[in-house]
Amino acid sequence: MHNTFIRFTFAPLFLGVFAQAVPSQLYCVGPQWSKDWCEATGLWETPELARQHIKQPAHNTIYLLKTQKVENILEKVEGEDGKWRSTSTKPIPTHLYQHFETHTRTGGIQRS
């Protein structure tokens, strides 16, 4: 009984120290024709960070992920500012991603 009391008393303190607040939206880079590869490059806190990972011609589109439905499977990547990843073995469903912007080879940007 004593151990149970200690666990319930101090567990929230430990969670507060180690837990990271998940941003309401994250950004990722993938091909224009498919959102499937987006998560593999990482999820970024800002579009500016995501833009650094654009690789022409294939990975040229930034997608927006609203994290409300998946925040329980996201964790911050240690040692990389603004980078998040999924802890799930299943990919994040593609219908949760929205097109944010596409960078063309000529330097143009198409925004949604």
What does the block give as tokens for 6? 């200690």
Of 35, 21, 54, 49, residue with least CA distance to 92: 35
This prediction's pTM: 0.79
pLDDT digits (tens, 9 = 90+) for 16-45: 445 579 999 999 999 988 888 888 889 999
The rounded distance, in Å, linking the Cα atoms of 109 and 9 is 52
pLDDT digits (tens, 9 = 90+) for 39-93: 888 999 999 999 999 988 888 999 999 999 999 999 999 999 999 999 999 999 9
DSSP symbol at 39 = G
**Residue 46 near residue 84 (C-beta atoms within 8 A):** no
Say what the pLDDT of residue 61 is.
Answer: 95
Q: Where are the domains of the chain?
A: 22-111
- Cβ atoms within 10 Å of 10's Cβ, excluding its own: 10
Question: Phi then psi for 110, rounded to 5 degrees?
Answer: -105, 115
Q: Which residue has the tokens 């143009």?
A: 108
